[in-house]
């Protein structure tokens, strides 16, 4: 039987093995994210891969529920593999961390799963890392989340990041202040949710929505820019609720400016996010190299109430695998660091483990040969390998910037001064 | 990435009109016949690829293309995460429920149980749901109008532009289930990271189709 026919070699569609440089990149990026979160005072927690379906359902919108892997517990109740982890953090906060004085800064990293149809090109398992800032209702908390997300991407080496900041209440407040009957309002909202701007136009045509609101709703994808677009939009709106949103975004912009990151921020009044879930500022992070957002977040003040704790909250998630894609496309290099292979003649086997330990202390990855390596004069030492020889020499070849440090250490060992 | 935006065009019935629209709008000067020999053409202003209509949303959602032109009927059946920006008005067709001449359904009486053959199961399901009808859908990949004649289904839900195919197969239209035209769609990230270029594309196409429609609409 050929390898292609062997039934035991298959892999489920939409899942991946991570090997070599890809595996290393994925781990390094995840660590860069979690290290950044820790540096900003976010405490790491780890939650299960499985949650009761009703717990998961409290978080994701109705549409996403159909994209969960679901199965039955021993007692017949329904379980799901988590499709995002904010809801698990919310559950922990509402149960085990109830007495803790706010604000709580929590972070996590772990896989999430989606039961999407395979063959669509979309992953069904993805690594996510994120932060939740719970118990503070103010814009300073929203700004901090945006700043942490930006810092994490920077630390992971993702460049050219664009941050789009919007507000979950802008479009709903416009819809409410527009002169729309309930049916038209519902049609416009559905169309916006479906990102179907042609249907938005159709739904608004023939209604007597206020001109300013209609114009703004139709100008949807172009309502983006710097702080100045708040004035442009403000000049056309008189209703208090959308004006309050604009004032919030102006204040948020100023806090982001104090964090020093407005150069990469766009205000996006047309941001369409899950309005039933988000309650305040929202944001998405993009790279020019990728067709999907690298991460997203926002204020979700209603979620914790679903678990019996009424607390404001804001947070974000970073998609580790998409960030890895962006890194790979941006640089085109795989960046894998190989361990130094340390060989030795039979006569010098005794000192090899100590030298390896010393090199590891200095931060060099060392794989010690398992047997003495015979020396053939005609055969050069290969790249990435060093060998302790009988005549006292240390022969080495080691590439890259770290190579110089390794060379110095090996030279010191050869002189007996290490 | 040089050469401006990456655009996906649908092969098939919409292809020549789509090429002409891009040329008329000054987006990219491309002649449809050039695609006889190659599937990808790079112009100074855009990189244009020709793919199967159903693959246009795939290229755009995955970010392999920034934007694409595709029939609304394809979007019904391909619930992918793209922005639908402009109704390009060409390629108009209708999705209709049609039944054999003389059948109860053709006379407007809906039987208790119904089997419908269609290439558009998602749109057909939505249509029947909106009428509160429980219908057994049979997904076919072509020549749907044959199904009632061979007893495979009681009726069809299919696209028609002129109605000629229905008549030739002794089918009569019972109800309209949807209307489709060509649409401009865009990748969600491209709309943000290349917003100026994508919005300019949308505006140029919108201007061109509006101008083309104006003389006909004038009294």
Interval B28-74: pLDDT, tens: 888 888 888 899 999 888 999 999 999 999 999 999 999 999 999 99
Q: How far is B188 from chain A (nearest CA, A)?
A: 7
pLDDT at A60 over 70: no
Complex prediction ipTM: 0.81
Q: Which residue of B has its CA nearest to A291?
A: B63
pLDDT for B163 equals 85
Cα–Cα distances (Å) from B104 to A305, B74, B113, B127, B149, in that order, read 54, 31, 12, 19, 15
Please give the structure tokens belonging to residue A124: 């069904």
Q: Which domains does chain A have, with CATH numbers?
A: 11-159+273-336 (3.30.930.10), 169-270 (no CATH), 340-415 (no CATH)
CA–CA gap between residue B13 and residue B75 (Å, rounded): 16
Higher pLDDT, B32 or A93: A93
What is the rounded radius of gyration, in angstroms, for the C-alpha atoms of chain B?
Answer: 19
| CATH number of the structural domain B93-178 | 3.40.190.10
Q: Which residue of B has its CA nearest to A268?
A: B192
Please name the residues between 127 and 186 in chain B that touch chain A, using a CB distance below 8 Å.
183
Q: How far is A47 from chain B (nearest CA, A)?
A: 29
8 Å CB contact of A197 and B198: no
Binned at pLDDT 50, 70 and 90, residue A5 comes out as low
pLDDT at A314 over 90: yes
Question: Beta strands of B11-161 (E only): which ranges?
Answer: 40-42, 46-51, 67-71, 82-87, 93-100, 114-118, 135-139, 155-160
| Residues A410/A397, Cβ–Cβ less than 8 Å | no
Query: Taking Cα atoms as reference points, which of B130, B182, B137 lies closest to residue B161?
Result: B182
pLDDT for B44 equals 87
Q: Does residue B83 belong to the interface with chain A, where contact is any CB pair within 8 Å? A: yes
Q: How far is A395 from chain B (nearest CA, A)?
A: 45
Q: Which long-range CB contacts under 8 A does A247-251 form with residues at least 24 apart?
A: A248/A139, A248/A167, A248/A280, A248/A281, A249/A165, A249/A167, A249/A281, A251/A139
8 Å CB contact of A195 and B87: no
Q: Taking residues A180-186, what's their average pLDDT?
A: 85
- What does DSSP say about strands A161-167 and A224-225: parallel, antiparallel, or unpaired? unpaired
A121 contact residues in B (CB cutoff 8 A)? 58, 61-62
Q: Which residue of B has its CA nearest to A285?
A: B189
Count of CB contacts below 8 A, A vs B?
Answer: 63
| Residues A93/A106, Cβ–Cβ less than 8 Å | yes
Domains B5-91+181-217 and B93-178 fall in the same CATH topology: yes
pLDDT at A378 over 80: no
A196 contact residues in B (CB cutoff 8 A)? 83-84
Q: Taking residues A3-30, what's their average pLDDT?
A: 84
Q: Which residue of A has its CA nearest to B183?
A: A198
Establish whether the linkage from the previous residue to A103 is cis, with ω within 30° of 0. yes
Higher pLDDT, B213 or A183: A183
Report the residue from B64, B82, B87 with minimal CB separation from A195: B82
Instruction: Taking each helix axis as running N to C, give the angle between helix A139-155 and helix A20-39, from 0 to 180 degrees, rounded to the nearest 10.
Output: 150
Binned at pLDDT 50, 70 and 90, residue B1 comes out as very low
Average model confidence (pLDDT) across chain A: 87
Report the residue from B63, B83, B189 with minimal CB separation from A197: B83
B85 contact residues in A (CB cutoff 8 A)? 197-198, 221
B194 contact residues in A (CB cutoff 8 A)? 288
DSSP, collapsed to helix, strand or coil, labels residue B31 as: coil
Report the residue from A199, A201, A286 with minimal CB separation from B189: A286
B63 contact residues in A (CB cutoff 8 A)? 290-292
B56 contact residues in A (CB cutoff 8 A)? none
8 Å CB contact of B84 and A199: yes
pLDDT at A184 over 80: yes
Q: How far is A59 from chain B (nearest CA, A)?
A: 20
- B5-91+181-217: CATH homologous superfamily? Periplasmic binding protein-like II (3.40.190.10)
The residues on A that touch B, with CB distances below 8 Å, are 120-122, 162, 164, 194-199, 201, 221-222, 224, 266, 268, 284, 286-288, 290-293
pLDDT digits (tens, 9 = 90+) for A222-279: 788 899 999 988 888 888 999 999 999 999 999 999 999 999 999 998 877 777 789 9
8 Å CB contact of A197 and B64: no
CA–CA gap between residue A155 and residue A33 (Å, rounded): 7
| Domain spans in chain B, listed from the N-terminal domain onward | 5-91+181-217, 93-178
- Name, in order, each residue with C-beta under 8 angstroms of A49's C-beta and a sequence gap of 6 or more: A81, A82, A110, A111, A113
Q: With the CA atoms of B140, B143, B144 and B146 taken in that order, what torsion angle do they form, in degrees rounded to the nearest 10?
A: -120
């Amino acid at each position: 039987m050929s390898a292609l026919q062997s039934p035991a070699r298959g892999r489920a569609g939409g899942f991946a093995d991570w090997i070599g440089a890809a595996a290393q990149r994925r781990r390094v990026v995840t660590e860069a994210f979690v290290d950044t979160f820790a540096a900003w005072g976010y405490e790491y927690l780890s939650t299960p891969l499985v949650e009761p379906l009703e717990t998961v359902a409290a978080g994701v919108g109705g549409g996403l529920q159909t994209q969960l892997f679901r199965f039955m517990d021993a007692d017949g109740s329904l379980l799901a593999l988590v499709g995002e982890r904010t809801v698990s953090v919310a559950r922990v906060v509402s149960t085990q961390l109830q007495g803790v004085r706010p604000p709580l800064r929590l972070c996590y990293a772990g896989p999430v799963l989606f039961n999407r149809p395979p063959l669509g090109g979309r992953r069904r398992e993805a690594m996510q890392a994120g932060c939740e800032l719970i118990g503070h209702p103010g814009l300073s908390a929203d700004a901090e989340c945006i700043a942490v997300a930006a810092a994490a991407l920077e630390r992971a080496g993702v460049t050219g990041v664009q941050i789009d900041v919007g507000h979950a209440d802008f479009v709903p407040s416009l819809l409410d202040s527009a002169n729309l009957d309930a049916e038209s309002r519902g049609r416009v909202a559905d169309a916006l949710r479906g990102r179907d701007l042609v249907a938005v136009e159709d739904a608004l045509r023939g209604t007597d929505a206020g001109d300013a609101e209609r114009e703004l709703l139709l100008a949807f994808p172009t309502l983006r820019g710097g702080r100045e677009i708040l004035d442009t939009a403000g000049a056309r709106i008189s209703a208090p609720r959308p004006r309050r949103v604009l004032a919030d975004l102006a204040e948020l912009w100023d806090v982001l400016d104090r964090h020093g990151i407005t150069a990469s921020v766009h205000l996006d009044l047309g941001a369409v996010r899950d309005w039933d879930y988000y309650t305040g500022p929202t944001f998405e992070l993009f790279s020019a190299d990728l067709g999907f957002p690298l991460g997203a977040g926002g204020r979700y003040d209603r979620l914790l109430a679903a678990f019996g704790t009424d607390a404001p909250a804001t947070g974000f998630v970073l998609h580790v695998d998409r960030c890895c894609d962006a890194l790979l496309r941006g640089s085109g290099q795989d960046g894998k660091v190989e361990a130094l292979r340390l060989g030795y003649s039979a006569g010098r086997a005794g000192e090899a483990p100590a030298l390896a330990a010393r090199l590891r202390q200095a931060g060099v990855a060392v794989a010690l040969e398992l047997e003495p390596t015979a020396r053939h004069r005609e055969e050069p030492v290969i790249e990435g390998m060093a060998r302790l020889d009988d005549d006292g020499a240390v022969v080495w070849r080691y590439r890259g910037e770290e190579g110089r440090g390794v060379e110095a250490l090996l030279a010191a060992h050869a002189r007996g001064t290490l | 990435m040089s050469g401006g935006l990456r655009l996906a065009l649908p092969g098939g019935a919409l292809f020549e009109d789509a090429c002409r629209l891009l040329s008329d709008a000054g987006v990219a000067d491309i002649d449809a016949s050039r695609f006889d020999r190659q599937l990808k053409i790079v112009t100074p202003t855009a990189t244009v690829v020709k793919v199967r209509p159903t693959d246009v949303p795939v290229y755009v959602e995955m970010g392999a293309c920034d934007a694409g032109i595709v029939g609304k009927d394809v979007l019904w059946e391909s619930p992918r995460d793209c922005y639908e920006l402009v109704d390009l008005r060409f390629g108009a067709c209708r999705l209709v429920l049609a039944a054999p001449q003389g059948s109860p359904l053709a006379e407007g009486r809906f039987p208790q149980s119904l089997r419908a053959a269609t290439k558009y199961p998602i749109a057909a399901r939505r249509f029947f749901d909106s009428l509160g009808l429980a219908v057994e859908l049979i997904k076919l990949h072509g020549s749907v109008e044959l199904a009632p004649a061979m007893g495979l289904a009681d009726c069809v839900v299919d696209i028609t532009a002129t109605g000629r195919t229905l008549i030739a197969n002794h089918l009569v239209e019972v109800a309209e289930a949807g209307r489709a035209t060509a649409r401009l769609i865009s990748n969600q990230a491209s709309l943000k990271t290349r917003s100026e270029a994508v919005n300019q594309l949308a505006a140029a196409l919108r201007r061109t189709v509006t101008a083309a429609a104006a003389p006909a609409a004038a009294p």
